[in-house]
């Protein structure tokens, strides 16, 4: 059951390309940004690492303002490839030594899919947060989810992730994070 279990000491959050110009055309923009904010706050509260990518920021703009306050400059990586598994990101993943990768971002069937494929191929466990990813069309979104699941990725959701990482109620961490879920 380890392949379905998140532990904060084994987990890393990878947020892919939630950028201004891209986010504007997403039908569920607000929900996806809200859930990514929860994931970022969870990483901060539970002290596990995160990495964020931006695809060609000159053209697509920076990470959306609603998320940027939770991201440190050293956690941000720019890329031109669709996969987030660039040389720099791969080096950071190796240095951080986490094997369970929570994935979120845009678009599910392109950058998120290609990154999941590369991570799975490199021996990482991928947990795709389905309510924190999106595509311009529902068909593309669903196709991305299906592809990632068929390759061995675990499809999950924000609330399941938060409570799996917390493990117990009654702690200060529980109080802080459960308030975000309401």
Catalytic residue among 79, 85, 118, 131: 79
Section 64-80 average pLDDT: 96
Q: How sure is the predictor about 141, in pLDDT bands with cuts at 50, 70 and 90?
A: very high
Q: How sure is the predictor about 11, in pLDDT bands with cuts at 50, 70 and 90?
A: very high
pLDDT higher than 90, residue 95? yes
Domain count, the chain: 1
Q: Are 164 and 130 in contact (CB under 8 A)?
A: no
Q: Catalytic residue at 17?
A: yes
Q: Catalytic residue at 79?
A: yes
Instruction: Tell me which residue of 4, 90, 77, 13 sits closest to 46, measured CA to CA.
Output: 13
Print the domain residue range for 74.
2-181
Catalytic residue among 85, 100, 111, 118: 111
Spatial strand order of the sheet with 50-55 comes to 76-79, 50-55, 11-16, 100-106, 125-134, 154-156
Section 110-115 average pLDDT: 98
Q: What is the mean pLDDT of the chain?
A: 96
Section 75-99 average pLDDT: 97
pLDDT at position 26, please?
A: 97
pLDDT at position 1, please?
A: 87
Q: How sure is the predictor about 181, in pLDDT bands with cuts at 50, 70 and 90?
A: confident
pLDDT higher than 80, residue 182? no
Tens of pLDDT along 22-62? Answer: 999 999 999 999 999 999 999 999 999 999 999 999 999 99
CATH of the domain at 8: 3.40.50.850
């Amino acid at each position: 059951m380890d392949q379905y279990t998140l532990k904060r000491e084994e987990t890393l959050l990878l947020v892919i390309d939630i950028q201004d110009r891209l986010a504007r055309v997403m039908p569920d923009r607000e929900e996806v940004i809200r859930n990514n904010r929860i994931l970022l706050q969870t990483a901060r509260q539970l002290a596990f690492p995160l990495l964020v990518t931006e695809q060609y920021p000159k053209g697509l703009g920076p990470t959306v303002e609603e998320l940027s306050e939770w991201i440190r400059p050293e956690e941000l990586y720019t890329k031109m490839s669709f996969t987030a598994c660039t040389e720099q990101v791969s080096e950071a993943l190796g240095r951080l030594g986490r094997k369970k990768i929570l994935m979120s971002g845009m678009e599910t069937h392109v950058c998120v899919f290609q990154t999941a494929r590369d991570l799975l191929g490199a021996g990482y466990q991928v947990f795709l947060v389905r309510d924190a990813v999106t595509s311009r069309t529902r068909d593309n979104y669903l196709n991305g989810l299906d592809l990632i699941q068929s390759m061995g990725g675990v499809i999950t959701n924000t609330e399941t992730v938060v409570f799996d990482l917390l493990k117990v109620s009654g702690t200060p961490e529980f109080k802080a994070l459960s308030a975000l879920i309401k």
